[in-house]
Chains A and B, each alone.
Chain A
Amino acid sequence: MASATAEWLTPPTRTELIENLVSGVDRYNPSNVGILEDYLYHQIRSEEYDCLANLAILKLYQFNPDLFNPDVVVNILLKALTAEPFPDFNLCMSLLDDRPPTSSTDEPDPLPTLLPMLTNLYDLLHQCRFPAFWAFYKSEQLESLRENYTIECVGFEDAIREVAARAVKATFTRIGLERLGTYVDLSGPEVDAWVAKQGWVVDGGVVGIPPNPDNQIESVVIRENVKLPQLAKVIAHSAQTK
């Protein structure tokens, strides 16, 4: 059975080496951080995602502050943003312990300024305020985030569009093309192409979304369903006493 979390627990792309690190005691060994970081950059390049492996990196950072690499953390958080509505972003944030102010580093730590921005991006996604997300994401303020990080993260914007697509798919049966465009920050032929890729159909400026378990509703009256084992005691007893 493919459960809703199966892929999240063990993505099909996870190698055996990584699986052993994630599930074994070796995850605590600081010398393995390189392997996991390489795996993260592999995810960044090839549009894969493995939350548990990334959490293992943060765990190593938590225990070994000297390993801490802010760039890696930002990349992990960007990846986690795209997992909404799963709470991956918060799970990652939970492992980011306080770090003493670095008194002796050459380059300034980018995290103190980036973390609030990332959190804000996450909140906008979580509140399904997609147009506001894109506006903030494209703002001048986030230039450094875009130019230093998301540009490297292949398919980041598409992955965010998937977040929007998931919300839309669950809520709408039909949605105006223009409105959808603001959700995914696309317009004109681009949005047509994107909609086609989703397998949705455009009909006169309105996008029809195929039925799925979430966007089909019906009023049901839940009736109780009495199973035989529930009555086993009563029946067994009356049989005994005859």
Chain B
Amino acid sequence: MSAQQRVPLWAAEPDLDDEINDVDISLAIPSYPNADMYDDPNVQLDESALAMQAQIAQQAAFAQIPDVVKRFIVHFHQAVLENNLPEITLAYESGWNRLTEKFYSKTEWPEAEIIAPLVNDDQIFLILYRELYYRHVYSRLQPNVDDRFHSYENSCELFNYLLNSDGPVTLSLPAQWLWDIIDEFIYQFQSFALFRSRPANKTDDELAMLGSEGGGQAWSSYSVLNVLYSLIQKSRANEWLTARSEGKTEEEIEEIIGEYGTRPLYRQLGYFSIIGLLRVHVLLGDFTLALKVMERVGLGLSVGQKAPFTAPTAAHVSTAYHAGVCYLMLRRVTDAARVFTGCLNWVMRARQYHTRSYQYDQINKTADRMYALLSLCHTLAPTRLDDNVMNIVREKYGDQMTRMGRGEEGLSTFEEIFLYACPKFISANGPPYDDPNALALLLNPPTPASPSSPSAPVLKPTTSDPTHRHLRALTAHFLSLTHVPVLRSLLKLYTSLDARKLAGFLDAGVDEEEVLSWMMVMKNAGRCVGRVNIAAGADKDDEKGGATNGTPARGSAARGSLLDGEWMSISDLNYVIDENMIHIAESTVGRRYAGWFIRNSEHAARVLDSVRALPLPVAAAAPAVGSKSQGKDGESKGEKNAKADGAPRTGGQKVAWGGVKAA
């Protein structure tokens, strides 16, 4: 109710407000009847002191702020003070974005110091405000070196407040915002690392800041990991997930997770930090550790597991994307494909719901990257995947897939797609800004020591950036598979074939020994380690029906390491070599009828239900209806339960796939 009344306060037609732009400061400061409920000692309204401090420049800047923005900030602050989640959500998801579009699409929001009088100089709110302020700078504008350092300091202050206050803080924020805080923190870390990794074209100012002692500390990998691990430990997120999957009672769980973990703020931050850790490890190239930290969380929706609470779409998408990248780099292509497919399917279905997130664009971009990576998966290990998803992959990357299927000439396409779709990998440490000599050496290297290896690969240890290192690992695998398509098409024609004869079919210069090595490579490529258990449980839609009794089983599956796996065969073409003779066996998949049958029975049942739900054509007295319908039912259904036909069915009946429309 109060929400309804307050919205128009700052969402009012701004045209009216333009008239009173230069509103007096004191007018803009509302009184806080309930300021004392906020236990921060910093909040002390001292109007005269404030007025003294306020500098003329600040006053001028303050006067520039449109009135509607001022009211928005006051209102936003009030909502945060009251821990009013619906109001905060509204302000966060719609108010901020609307005002950004209107007033700040090309400039910064007012600095925190300038709006401080509006919020009673509430330091906690100002930290949250700066969080939004810098995020806006990073996403809409070009952050300068000061912004980068200051946003780091602000993040530190925020996490310091959350982690090192006396006991858990009473703040409440919506899950979406909490996710965004973690996500943005990592994004800025990544952005800083990329900025730092390019020592060329830096101004003297930037060089000085990066070379200073603080410059070496800011956004260091250790500090970022420290924040994430602290949040996870403080909230006992992993213990919470374990206790849940073990089916402990609410009281037991509360006992385990303690005073921090019981608060949604900490619990959600802890949970999101685990996903954040996955991303950080991927960025740093540690694909095993990345999956290891996710052991308790599991891979969520993309493998059919439920998240323990309604997490933002972006969290699911980020999980699936980064986990898929890990599997791809671990050469567990089927697992990668399954995670991508599961998530993309889900994104397709949920598309209409997540438009309001400011990360909507981001989700679409990530989804597109997943389609691209799927095309790589399909090239490395052509297996049957979900038709809906594969159709889109073919639509988007059909030409590229054809090119990649042609062996070596597809290499550049393969690289192109990987470079587009991979995360922006970073180095843990930057160039030696604190050592001008070393930096100069790096910028103008002496003639590099040429590697003396005969087939010297492109790898140059001193100058390769992380992305190219990972690319190289994957392309080496791609190149080892370049002969597979040709071999496959030839082998498919035979049940047995002499290896020498096969060599003769191939390009001149290929001898039997080489063909045999290709055959061994192809054999290795035809099998792959994958998570069989999860596969059986999750890639079928039918599983949804058994969700209630299936949950405990899945919970235990989720507890197994994400790195676990079994060997499985992924090729339908198998062969074995008896000295020189290749014997070939091809497996075929028979036609599937069950899905068709189930779909049509469901359809028939639906039709039957709606027919029954219709009022009878001839209006008649109640008893007559009863007997009539009895007669009809008796004809069409044979035996039936007497109590079902006491009255005509006019209301819709609950069925497994949702309510039937009442006629």
Contacts and interface: CB of A to CB of B under 8 A. Distances in A.
A215 B567 contact: no
Contacts of B40: none
A242 B637 contact: yes
Interface stretch (B41-49, B122-130, B360-368, B453-461): B453-461
Q: Give the size range of B's interface with the partner.
A: 35 or more
A91 interface: yes
Interface stretch (B91-99, B585-593, B620-628): B585-593
Contact of A115 (B329, B459, B565): B459
B476 A219 contact: no
B609 A241 contact: yes
B174 to A, nearest CB: 29
Given A123-B476, A219-B587, A230 B451 contact: no
Given A4-B529, A171-B523, A214-B527, A123 B457 contact: yes
Interface stretch (A34-42, A96-104, A149-157): A96-104
A170 B523 contact: yes
B399 to A, nearest CB: 28
Interface stretch (A13-21, A57-65, A184-192): A57-65
Contacts of B222: 28, 63
Interface in B582-609: 583-590, 592-594, 598, 601-602, 605, 608-609
A148 interface: no
A26 B459 CA distance: 32
Contact of B605 (A112, A115, A123, A234): A234
B605 A238 contact: yes
Interface in A76-133: 85-87, 90-91, 93-101, 103, 111-113, 115-117, 119-120, 122-123, 126-131
Given A214-B523, A233-B545, A234-B602, A103 B285 contact: no
A182 B98 CA distance: 71
Specify the main secondary structure of chain B where it touches its partner: mixed
B579 to A, nearest CB: 5
Nearest to A164: B520
A170 B598 contact: no
A103 B449 contact: no
B590 A223 contact: yes
Contacts, number: 247
Given A3-B565, A231-B598, A94 B590 contact: no
Given A3-B565, A230-B542, A126 B455 contact: no
Nearest to B574: A217
B452 interface: yes
Interface stretch (B30-38, B157-165, B341-349, B464-472): B464-472
Contacts of A238: 605
Nearest to A90: B473
B81 interface: no
Nearest to B429: A65
B259 interface: no
Contacts of B456: 116
A176 to B, nearest CB: 6
Interface stretch (B286-294, B299-307, B412-420): B286-294
Contacts of B453: 116-117, 120, 141
Contact of B577 (A9, A120, A175): A175
A172 interface: yes
B442 A101 contact: yes
B154 interface: no
B429 A97 contact: yes
Contacts of B542: 229-230
Contact of A141 (B452, B565, B590): B452
Interface in B416-451: 427-429, 431-432, 435, 437-438, 441-442, 445, 449, 451
Interface in B464-522: 464-466, 469-470, 473, 476-477, 480, 513-514, 516-521
B100 interface: no
Interface in A24-58: 25, 28, 51-52, 55
B438 A176 contact: no
Given A120-B455, A170-B523, A222-B588, A101 B655 contact: no
Interface of B: 221-222, 225, 229, 233, 284-289, 292, 329-331, 427-429, 431-432, 435, 437-438, 441-442, 445, 449, 451-457, 459-466, 469-470, 473, 476-477, 480, 513-514, 516-521, 523-524, 527, 529, 540, 542, 545-546, 561, 563-567, 574-579, 583-590, 592-594, 598, 601-602, 605, 608-609, 612, 637, 639-641, 644, 653, 655-657
Interface of A: 3-6, 8-9, 23, 25, 28, 51-52, 55, 59, 62-63, 65, 85-87, 90-91, 93-101, 103, 111-113, 115-117, 119-120, 122-123, 126-131, 136, 141, 167-168, 170-176, 179, 206, 213-224, 226, 229-234, 236-238, 240-242
Return the 4 tightest CB-CB contacts between A and B, nearest first: A128-B520, A90-B473, A94-B285, A116-B451
Given A94-B473, A232-B545, 20 more contacts: A4-B529, A8-B563, A55-B288, A62-B286, A87-B330, A90-B329, A90-B473, A96-B461, A100-B431, A117-B451, A128-B524, A131-B513, A179-B516, A206-B579, A222-B587, A230-B594, A233-B598, A237-B605, A238-B605, A241-B644
13 contacts: A3-B564, A62-B429, A63-B428, A98-B461, A116-B461, A175-B579, A179-B513, A179-B516, A217-B575, A222-B587, A226-B594, A233-B602, A242-B637
